[in-house]
Amino acid sequence: MEPFRGVFTQQEAIPEQAVNAAIEVLRSGRLHRYNTLGDELSVASELERAFARYQGAKYCLACASGGYAMSIALRAAGVYPGDAVLTNSFTLAPVPGAIAAVGAKPVFVEVTEDLVLDLGDLETKIAESGAKLLLLSSMRGHLCDMEALTELLGTKDIVLLEDCAHTMGASWNGRLSGSFGLAGCFSTQTYKHLNSGEGGLLTSDDPQFMARAIMLSGSYMLYERHGAAPPEEVFRTIRLETPNMSGRMDNLRAAILLPQLADLDDSIRRWNERYDLIAQRLSEIPKVRMPHRPGEENYVGSSIQFRIPGISKANAINFVAENKALGVELKWFGDESPVAFTSNHHSWQYVDPQDLPMTDEILSGLFDMRIPLSFTLDDCEHIARILSHTVNQSTGSGTA
Ligand SMILES: *Cc1c(COP(=O)(O)O)cnc(C)c1O
């Protein structure tokens, strides 16, 4: 078997147009978002306008990271220290981290075999916890039935915030992820759908919520210089009672993001070509279970997940090692010791331990792979061949 030589952490270069826009900002010296001349609109404000338009949202705030967007969203939504906040058991560390940042307590909701929030368990946890808010994390881009979810939350009077780190550009029944609840939180960290190294975007149609979020982000009294903000009078009631928790985006990062946003739909098409090819090949391997993706879901295949149900620990470790030896980098979510980006609830010991048997079972056989756009379709064929080979090699025994 010919090893694969591509690099799984290698993203595409920043487009030339974005490089030029960044140089222009550097030459101007005006990197801070409020450093404007006359009534010039800062690049950060332009980005807010463009992303609000893309998302079909009234308001948008550009900020320091996806995790930061979530933490100020929780605060702006009125979450206080000690409050219970519902969230997915299968998610990435910044999600429980954002809940911890406001002193609240994550209540984890089980994951289904299709890697989405378990709505039955959600109903149970709503009743048990008395939580008033769900921070929904569409982890690795898997959307739950958003209509069933919003209906359930509506009957229980639960506020919805969406973590769209992997669903920027994805939709359910034609409606964009991030537009189903009070707010959508997006990341522009290197491994997400737009790349500014670090960065976050927060969208909402609620003027009071967005005014608080803008004040929290560290706007001083310069909020009228924002690109997609509520009217000035909305700020009058909250501007002195809302703390400044500096986490602004600067013009340099915004300049890099604007041209990428214009290309987002094309990037999504290219991701899905790659995803669909690998998914097709994986679905032909008897031992592998691909998550079912309903017709209502328009996903962005920037990474791929598959399960080998019943795989033993030893075989899972072996499987990852064999792939590594052949140049294919997999993450195994069942690993006991946290590796790189952690996504197993047992690693988050600042949270009260929770009994999540379904999640533990799913994670024990769940594998994950990035699909950078720097890979060609031939690369994807090559990777799929290696995976078919290693599934059979290293999972011979101990597999259900
Ligand atoms: C990356 C990520 C975030 C936010 O990440 P930042 O690094 O803070 O921008 C949030 N949720 C999930 C599921 C993520 O993968």
Using the atom order of ligand 1, give the atom closest to the CA of residue 139.
13
What are the pocket residues of ligand 1 if the criterion is a CB atom closer than 6 Å to any ligand atom? Answer: 65-67, 91-92, 94-95, 137, 139, 163, 165-166, 187, 189, 200
234 lies in the same domain as 278 = no
Within a domain: residue 205? Answer: yes
* Token pair of 89 as six digits: 């058991």
Domain that holds residue 221: 16-262
CA atoms within 13 A on the CB side of 290: 18
Burial of 313-339, coded b for 16+ CB within 10 Å and e otherwise, reads eebbebbbebbeebbbbbbbbbbeeee
113 lies in the same domain as 163 = yes
* pLDDT, position 338: 73
Are 110 and 123 contacting, i.e. CB atoms less than 8 angstroms apart? no
Within a domain: residue 232? Answer: yes
88 lies in the same domain as 162 = yes
Using the atom order of ligand 1, give the atom closest to the CA of residue 92.
13
139 lies in the same domain as 24 = yes
The Cα 368–Cα 142 span in angstroms is 13
Please tell me the distance between residue 340's alpha carbon and the centre of ligand 1 in angstroms: 13
24 lies in the same domain as 52 = yes
Using the atom order of ligand 1, give the atom closest to the CA of residue 67.
8
Q: Report which protein residue has its CA nearest ligand 1's atom 2.
A: 165
The total domain count for the chain is 2
* pLDDT, position 398: 44
What count of other Cβ atoms lies within 10 Å of the Cβ of residue 154?
A: 10
159 lies in the same domain as 210 = yes
* pLDDT, position 337: 76
The Cα 104–Cα 378 span in angstroms is 47
Within a domain: residue 6? Answer: no
Alpha helices of 40-118 — where are they, by DSSP H? 43-55, 66-76, 94-101
Within a domain: residue 9? Answer: no
96 lies in the same domain as 239 = yes
E-strand spans in 285-399? 297-298, 303-307, 331-332, 366-370
Within a domain: residue 212? Answer: yes
159 lies in the same domain as 33 = yes
The Cα 24–Cα 3 span in angstroms is 42
Taking each helix axis from N to C terminus, what angle separates 313-325 and 377-394, rounded to the nearest 10 degrees? 140
144 Cα distance to chain centroid: 14
CATH value at residue 311: 3.90.1150.10
* pLDDT, position 400: 42
Please tell me the distance between residue 65's alpha carbon and the centre of ligand 1 in angstroms: 8
47 lies in the same domain as 118 = yes
The Cα 265–Cα 289 span in angstroms is 28
Q: Among 212, 230, 262, where does a domain finish?
A: 262
Q: Report which protein residue has its CA nearest ligand 1's atom 8.
A: 67
Within a domain: residue 220? Answer: yes
Within a domain: residue 2? Answer: no
Q: Among 262, 296, 331, where does a domain finish?
A: 262
Best residue among 9, 187, 196, 257 to mutate for probing ligand 1, ranked by most atoms within 8 Å of CB: 187
217 lies in the same domain as 347 = no
29 lies in the same domain as 91 = yes
CATH value at residue 201: 3.40.640.10
Are 149 and 170 contacting, i.e. CB atoms less than 8 angstroms apart? no
109 lies in the same domain as 227 = yes
pLDDT one digit per residue (tens) for the chain, 400 residues: 999 999 999 999 999 999 999 999 999 999 999 999 988 999 999 999 999 999 999 999 999 999 999 999 999 999 999 999 999 999 999 999 999 999 999 999 999 999 999 999 999 999 999 999 999 999 999 999 999 999 999 999 999 999 999 999 999 999 999 999 999 999 999 999 999 999 999 999 999 999 999 999 999 889 999 999 999 999 999 999 999 999 999 999 999 999 999 999 999 999 999 999 999 999 999 999 999 999 999 999 999 999 999 999 999 999 999 999 999 999 999 987 777 777 889 999 999 999 999 999 999 999 999 999 999 999 999 999 999 999 988 776 444 4
The Cα 376–Cα 298 span in angstroms is 22
Within a domain: residue 48? Answer: yes
Q: Among 218, 244, 262, where does a domain finish?
A: 262
